Structure 1
Amino acid sequence: MNTYDFTFAGQRLVARPSGALHWPAAGLLCVSDLHLGKSARQARRNGVQLPPYDVEDTLARLEAEVEATAAATVICLGDSFDDLQAFDALPLTALDWITRLQAGRRWIWIEGNHDPGPVALAGDHLAQFRHLGLTFRHFASDEDRGEISGHYHPKLRLRAGSRACFLVDEARLILPAFGTYTGGLRSDDPALDRLMAPGALAILTGARALAVPMRQNRSGRASSRRGR
């Protein structure tokens, strides 16, 4: 199997190589930080011309995950759109694609900092969602155990570059960004080091979801550096 199964807050979860999180017992699929429309926003604000294929690529990968897991519920964990203008500029084909993905299942849009507030799409628009001891929100906090969040786009530095990753300890789980043109924050950044407890794991995305220690030294071995 290319996925990585683990127990978090008493629930069996599956980290998928794509960066999606599957909760089989709940029939739930969670993705974070789609940032749909990022290429259009970059062109509008900075004059940076990125190939305008991010929306199609992101939705195609999301559709593959929905079909592979047969998810009855999908949670988009915030920053689903790069901003509200990016949503307004989405082509009709993309909106129809999202509508097809939503058909026959519950769809939950969690509010993020790039898309603060409901948008004109079907589904539940929530600040956070709680189910069976797990809390889904965009920003990590110190309030809850069993918290699943996004926002940081974590990446683990490796000898050959870096890979997007999940970060998990006993209290919280941070998802990687799912969007095509999303950057990332290295897992050794102080912001993430403060959030994650000693012994936290990084689950790498790519061809195979692989768990390694989050804190690594420059040789790629586990580090004794402590968080918090």
Structure 2
Amino acid sequence: MNYHDFRFAGAALRALGSGALWWPDEDLLCVSDLHFGKSERVARRSGQPLPPYETRDTLQRLSADLEATDARCVICLGDSFDDLTAAASLPEEERLWITTLQAGREWVWIEGNHDPGPQDFGGSHVSELTSGPLTFRHIAVPDGTGEVSGHYHPKAHVQARGRRVTRPAFLCDTRRLILPAYGTYTGGLRSYSDTLCRLMQPDALAILTGSVPTCVPMPRQEMTR
């Protein structure tokens, strides 16, 4: 399991290379923006089919993280389903897979803008959750402190071996932590976007996901070649 250790709001956390957040002291795994059922939603709304494998791929990676951490509690940080119809349309095999992962664990679905309100899945459904010094919600609020959120699907870049590498990334400062999207069919907002630059403090860090998670000062300008 590849990870980067860091501290946030007094909590010792690990940013996993997969894009999941692991809180060892609380046996808690947090993932954001799974967007289960996105291929079904895109095909339904646009008529353009996508290969319908993204939910299975996301579940395979989540299964691996749960096996590696043996997490007692899982928090899904909103936009777990691409919309309400996509949630209802998941194949039975994938619904059973989710049920199997939930077995023996506390499982919390945070409401997102794509999936407001409870869905027909196990676990609890809440708008936000506070655990110790951390508050988990889908979208960052202006006065948030100790806040763990998602929604923006942040990405960041580094220069490696003479070329630019861009990956999904955690963004972290003293007030808030924004998780990357965990789902397979998810785009991303670059860290130098006006939105993320306004949200994050000047000394914010970016932790890029991948086989070797890399922590750098949050890029605030587009890299030129």
Q: Same fold (TM over 0.5)?
A: yes
Q: Which amino acid aligns with 1:129?
A: L
Q: Distance in 2 between matches of 1:53 and 1:44?
A: 16
SS at match of 1:41: helix
Q: Which residue of 1 aligns with 2:178?
A: 174
Conserved in 1, the CA contact under 8 Å of 2:5 and 2:12? yes
Q: Which moved more, 1:58-67 or 1:158-167?
A: 158-167
Q: Which residue of 2 aligns with 1:43?
A: 43
Q: 1:209 deviation in Å? A: 1.1
Q: 1:216 deviation in Å? A: 4.9
Q: Distance in 2 between matches of 1:219 and 1:28?
A: 35
- Deviation digits for residues 138-157 of structure 1, max 9, x if unmatched? 00012331000000000114
Q: Which residue of 2 aligns with 1:34?
A: 34
If the length of structure 1 is used for normalisation, what is the TM-score?
Answer: 0.93
Question: Equivalences for 1:32-181 in 2 at 5 Å?
Answer: 32-158=32-158, 159-181=163-185
SS at match of 1:160: strand
Q: Distance in 2 between matches of 1:168 and 1:20?
A: 14
Conserved in 1, the CA contact under 8 Å of 2:150 and 2:180? yes
Q: Distance in 2 between matches of 1:89 and 1:119?
A: 12
SS at match of 2:50: coil
* Corresponding position: 1:208 with 2:212: yes
Q: Which residue of 2 aligns with 1:15?
A: 15
Q: Distance in 2 between matches of 1:14 and 1:23?
A: 6
Q: Distance in 1 between matches of 2:144 and 2:169?
A: 22
Q: Which amino acid aligns with 1:139?
A: I
Change (3 A) 1:140 1:86: same
Q: Distance in 1 between matches of 2:136 and 2:220?
A: 28
Q: Which amino acid aligns with 1:99?
A: T
SS at match of 2:136: strand
Change (3 A) 1:85 1:25: same
Q: Distance in 2 between matches of 1:209 and 1:174?
A: 15
Q: Distance in 2 between matches of 1:203 and 1:84?
A: 31
Q: Which amino acid aligns with 2:17?
A: P
> Which runs of structure 1 show a deviation greater than 4 angstroms over 4 or more consecutive aligned residues?
216-220
Q: 1:133 deviation in Å? A: 1.2
Unmatched 5+ stretches in structure 2: none
If the length of structure 2 is used for normalisation, what is the TM-score?
Answer: 0.94
Conserved in 1, the CA contact under 8 Å of 2:193 and 2:220? no
Q: Distance in 2 between matches of 1:212 and 1:218?
A: 15
Q: Distance in 2 between matches of 1:218 and 1:119?
A: 39
Q: Distance in 2 between matches of 1:144 and 1:11?
A: 16
Q: 1:172 deviation in Å? A: 0.2
Q: Which residue of 2 aligns with 1:225?
A: none
Q: Distance in 2 between matches of 1:9 and 1:134?
A: 7
Q: Distance in 2 between matches of 1:170 and 1:26?
A: 20
Q: Distance in 1 between matches of 2:165 and 2:107?
A: 35
Give me the identity figure in percent.
Answer: 59
SS at match of 1:193: helix
Conserved in 1, the CA contact under 8 Å of 2:110 and 2:126? yes
Report the count of equivalent residues.
220
Unmatched 5+ stretches in structure 1: 221-228
Conserved in 1, the CA contact under 8 Å of 2:155 and 2:190? yes
